[in-house]
């Protein structure tokens, strides 16, 4: 049997082929897996569990089929869908994991994160993250009319694009938006694990590291902007592969 890890699908109405690819992935693989872990940014944006979009309905219905078929579905908030709440989780049949979380993976403790907290050099983003994770801010935001929340999400996406464009023009995009080595080392030290799985950076790879004289492994999941990406793990090892 196999455990599946995905992240950074960024599903929305503007890329229906990716939503369809996700549906095929769920039907073909996820329904027979030991578990499915979604490590954040399942959606391009999330304005509240009352989101009436067809994409949200499609995802909830398809994930519910997977969960009802016996495959546990675990979800971790990302930087785009941190407002996914218990109501949507219940619709989709998935359980919400805190970030970070250590899970037992075939007898081995593995640290799971979305990955954005590791990008500590991006000070502007970390300040925004602290603001939007505040329960008071979230309650005030969710109390606004749906139209106002939709407008805010659009504005936030444009601000994110402008921020990244500014970093690119300064030549700092690659370093600031990637993980900071010190933050990665600190995570390994704090949790005492040998393996870390995360997304967020859209730089799929398997990194062999040395932290405090011990070999460690950092596995970065890929995004789904142009194609799919999945990490398959079983008792024999792991495979990080693209989906078309």
Residue 171 is predicted with a pLDDT of 55
Q: Is 238 annotated as a binding residue?
A: no
pLDDT averaged per 10 residues in sequence order, the chain, 244 residues: 96 95 96 97 95 94 98 97 97 98 97 97 91 96 93 80 62 70 97 97 96 96 96 96 91
Q: Is 229 annotated as a binding residue?
A: no
Residue 72 is predicted with a pLDDT of 98
Q: Is 122 annotated as a binding residue?
A: yes
Q: Is 202 annotated as a binding residue?
A: yes
Q: Is 163 annotated as a binding residue?
A: no
Q: In this structure, are residues 229 and 205 in contact, taking their beta carbons and an 8 Å threshold?
A: no
CATH code, domain carrying 238: 3.60.21.10
Q: Using one digit for the tens of pLDDT, what is the confidence trace for 137-177? A: 999 999 999 999 989 888 877 777 766 665 556 555 555 68
Residue 167 is predicted with a pLDDT of 57
Which domain, by its residues, includes 200? 3-243
Q: Using one digit for the tens of pLDDT, what is the confidence trace for 171-193? A: 555 556 899 999 999 999 999 99
Phi, psi of 239 (to 5 degrees): -140, 125
Residue 153 is predicted with a pLDDT of 84
Residue 52 is predicted with a pLDDT of 87
Q: In this structure, are residues 45 and 80 in contact, taking their beta carbons and an 8 Å threshold?
A: yes
Q: Is 129 annotated as a binding residue?
A: no
Beta-ladder partners of 3: 35, 233
* Overall domain count for the chain: 1
Q: Which residues contact 220 (CB under 8 A, 6 or more apart)?
A: 115, 198, 199, 201, 203, 204, 205, 206, 207
Q: Is 160 annotated as a binding residue?
A: yes
Residue 213 is predicted with a pLDDT of 93
Q: Is 24 annotated as a binding residue?
A: no
**Of how many residues is the chain composed?**
244
Q: Is 144 annotated as a binding residue?
A: no
Cα–Cα distance measured from residue 112 to residue 93, given in angstroms and rounded to the nearest whole number: 20
Look at residue 163 and give its three-state secondary structure: helix
Q: Using one digit for the tens of pLDDT, what is the confidence trace for 6-19? A: 999 999 999 999 99
Residue 155 is predicted with a pLDDT of 83
Q: Is 41 annotated as a binding residue?
A: yes
Q: Is 79 annotated as a binding residue?
A: yes
């Amino acid at each position: 049997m196999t455990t599946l890890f995905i992240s950074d699908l960024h599903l929305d109405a503007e890329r229906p082929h990716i939503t369809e690819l996700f549906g095929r992935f769920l039907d073909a693989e996820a329904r027979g897996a030991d578990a499915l872990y979604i490590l954040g940014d399942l959606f391009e944006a999330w304005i509240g569990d009352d989101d009436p979009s067809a994409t949200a309905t499609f995802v909830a219905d398809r994930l519910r089929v997977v969960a009802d078929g016996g495959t546990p579905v675990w979800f971790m908030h990302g930087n785009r869908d941190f407002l996914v709440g218990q109501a949507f989780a219940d619709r989709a049949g998935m359980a919400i994991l805190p970030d970070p979380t250590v899970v037992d993976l075939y007898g081995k403790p593995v640290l799971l994160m979305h990955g954005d907290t590791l990008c500590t050099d991006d000070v502007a983003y970390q300040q925004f993250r602290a603001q939007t994770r505040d329960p008071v801010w979230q309650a005030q935001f969710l109390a606004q009319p749906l139209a106002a929340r939709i407008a805010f999400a659009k504005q936030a996406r444009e601000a994110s694009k402008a921020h990244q464009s500014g970093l690119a023009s300064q030549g700092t995009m690659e370093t600031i938006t990637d993980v900071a080595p010190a933050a990665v080392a600190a995570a390994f030290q704090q949790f005492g694990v040998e393996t870390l799985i995360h997304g967020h950076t859209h730089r799929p790879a398997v990194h062999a590291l040395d932290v405090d004289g011990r070999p460690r492994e950092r596995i970065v999941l890929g995004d789904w902007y142009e194609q799919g990406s999945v990490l398959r793990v079983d008792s024999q090892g792991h495979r990080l592969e693209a989906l078309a």
